[in-house]
C-alpha cells in the first residue's frame, strides 16, 4: 500500500492544471494525546491521498498540525473524515484569505517529536492547560488596555512584513528563543499585566499561553485562530483592522495581504517592499526580501557571488555543491551580512522599557 508521495512537484502541477478544479487552502491544529502517532499518520495518509489532499502535516504524541489544500468539491468529505476522529470533531479550519491552486504540490505527513518545536524537557508542563482564547473583537479591546503587553510569537522574518500595531516583535529565529526572553522581561509583572499573544494560526501562542501559565503568569490570552481567523472576522464583522502589512504563510504563496500598509524594505536597496523570495542559487536558497528592480538586476539572487554561480551551467553548479551537504546553515531566513537593508526588529526589552513596565 502506498504510504508516501510518488509524484514530483512538476508532475503534480500538471495534474492540477489538467483537472481544472478550484482548490481550497486551509490549516488547522489540535493539541491532544495521541498514543501511536505512526499508526495515526498512516491512517491519515491513506484517507487523504484518496481525497487528493496535498500539504504539510505533522503528527506527534502532543497532537496534529496541518497546512494543506484539497479540491473544493471534496471539502465536505474531508470535513466528515475529521469529524469521525474524536479529538478533531468540530475543529476550526482556517480557510486561507487568498487562494492558490498550487499552494502545495505534495502530500507530506510526518511523525515528529512535537508539532511545535519548543526545546522544553519539562514533564510537569501540560500543553492543554492553555490561556484564554479571544476573538477579534475582544482582542481589539484588550490591546487598547494600558495594562496589556501584546507579543508576536512568530520569528523575525514573519513579523518583519506584518504585525499588529504596537506589538512587541522579538528579533528571534525560533519559537523557543521567545519563551525565555518574554519570561525574563515580564518576570515582575506576572500578576498585574495582561499577556496577550498572537501568531499565524494559533498553534504557537496556544503552546506559549500554556507555558506562561505554567510559569505563574495569571492573565494570559491568545488570539483564537491567529492572524488568519482575525482577518476573516474583521472582514465579516466590519471591525477595525489593527494589523499592518502581510501575514507570512508557510506554503508557496508565502504571504497573505491583510492591509495595504508596506512596513518592510527590500534587503538589497532599501525600497519599501514586503515580498519574500528565495535566492536562485540552489547552494544558498536564502529567504530574503527583494524588490522587482533588484530581482531583475540580480537575477533573483541575494549576492553577486550567488549571481555568478547561478549563471554557470547546471552541471557546474552541481559540481560546486558536491560534498557540501544541505545543512540548516544554508537555509537561513533573511539573515546575512551582505543584505545591507535587513531591518532589525525591535528588541522586546526596549519596547517594554518604553512602556514603563
Q: What is the pLDDT of residue 324?
A: 66
Nearest to 4, CA basis, from 47, 61, 51, 45? 45
Dihedral sign for Cα 296, 301, 303, 308, please: negative
Q: What are the sequence ranges of the domains in the chain? A: 9-111, 276-330
Give the model confidence (pLDDT) of 226-264 as tens digits.
999 999 999 999 999 999 999 998 887 889 999 999 999
Q: What pLDDT digit, counting tens, does each position of 98-151 carry?
A: 888 999 999 999 999 999 888 777 777 788 889 999 999 999 999 999 999 999
- Fold for 9-111, please state it: Alpha-Beta Plaits (3.30.70)
Q: How confident is the model at residue 331 (pLDDT cuts 50, 70, 90)?
A: very low
* Integer angstrom CA distances of residue 356 from 89, 126, 186, 351: 45, 32, 12, 9
CA distances from 149 to 182, 224, 356 (A): 10, 17, 11
Buried b (16+ CB within 10 A) or exposed e, 98-124: ebebbbbbebebebeebbbebeeeeee
Let me know: does 196 contact 221? Beta carbons within 8 Å.
Answer: yes
Residue-wise pLDDT tens digits, 174-233: 888 889 889 998 999 999 999 999 999 999 999 999 999 999 999 999 999 999 999 999
Q: Supply the pLDDT for residue 354.
A: 54
Indicate which residues carry an active-site annotation: 199
CA distance 292 to 273: 9
Task: Quote the radius of gyration of the chain (alpha carbons, Å).
Answer: 21
- What would the mean pLDDT of 339-354 be, rounded to a whole number? 61
Q: Helix H segments across the chain?
A: 9-19, 37-50, 75-83, 136-142, 156-159, 175-185, 203-214, 226-237, 292-298, 304-310, 314-321, 348-354
Q: What is the mean pLDDT of residues 73-85?
A: 97
Report the distance separating Cα 293 and Cα 287, nearest Å: 17
pLDDT tier at 274, thresholds 50, 70, 90? very high
pTM of the model: 0.81
Amino acid at each position: 500500500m502506498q504510504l508516501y508521495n510518488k509524484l514530483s512537484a512538476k508532475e503534480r502541477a500538471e495534474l492540477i492544471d489538467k483537472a481544472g478544479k478550484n482548490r481550497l487552502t486551509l490549516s488547522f491544529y489540535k493539541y491532544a494525546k495521541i498514543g501511536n502517532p505512526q499508526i495515526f499518520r498512516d491512517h491519515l495518509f491513506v484517507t487523504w491521498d484518496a481525497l487528493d489532499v496535498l500539504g504539510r502535516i505533522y503528527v506527534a504524541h502532543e497532537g496534529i498540525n496541518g497546512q494543506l489544500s484539497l479540491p473544493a468539491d471534496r471539502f465536505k468529505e474531508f470535513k466528515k473524515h475529521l469529524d469521525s476522529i474524536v479529538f478533531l470533531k468540530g475543529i476550526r479550519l482556517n480557510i486561507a484569505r487568498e487562494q492558490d491552486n498550487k499552494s502545495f504540490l505534495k502530500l507530506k505527513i510526518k511523525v515528529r517529536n512535537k508539532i511545535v518545536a519548543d526545546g522544553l524537557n519539562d514533564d510537569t508542563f501540560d500543553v492543554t492547560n492553555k490561556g484564554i482564547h479571544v476573538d477579534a473583537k475582544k482582542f481589539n479591546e484588550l490591546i487598547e488596555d494600558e495594562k496589556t503587553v501584546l507579543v508576536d510569537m512568530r520569528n523575525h522574518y514573519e513579523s518583519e512584513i506584518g504585525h499588529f500595531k504596537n506589538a512587541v516583535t522579538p528579533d528571534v529565529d525560533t519559537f523557543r528563543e521567545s519563551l525565555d526572553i518574554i519570561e525574563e522581561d515580564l518576570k515582575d509583572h506576572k500578576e498585574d499585566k495582561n499577556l496577550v499573544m498572537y501568531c499565524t494560526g494559533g498553534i504557537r501562542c496556544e503552546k506559549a499561553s500554556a507555558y506562561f501559565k505554567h510559569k505563574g503568569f495569571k492573565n494570559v490570552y491568545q488570539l483564537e485562530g491567529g492572524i488568519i481567523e482575525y482577518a476573516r472576522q474583521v472582514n465579516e464583522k466590519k471591525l477595525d483592522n489593527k494589523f499592518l502589512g502581510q501575514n507570512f504563510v508557510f506554503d508557496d504563496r508565502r504571504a497573505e495581504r491583510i492591509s495595504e500598509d508596506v512596513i518592510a524594505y527590500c534587503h538589497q536597496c532599501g525600497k519599501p517592499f514586503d515580498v519574500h523570495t528565495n535566492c536562485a542559487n540552489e547552494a544558498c536558497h536564502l529567504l530574503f526580501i527583494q524588490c522587482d528592480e533588484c530581482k531583475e538586476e540580480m537575477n533573483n539572487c541575494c549576492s553577486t557571488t550567488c549571481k555568478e554561480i547561478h549563471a554557470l551551467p547546471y552541471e557546474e553548479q552541481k559540481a560546486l555543491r558536491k560534498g557540501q551537504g544541505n545543512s540548516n546553515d544554508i537555509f537561513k531566513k533573511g539573515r546575512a551580512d551582505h543584505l545591507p537593508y535587513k531591518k532589525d526588529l525591535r528588541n522586546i526589552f526596549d519596547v517594554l522599557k518604553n512602556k514603563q513596565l
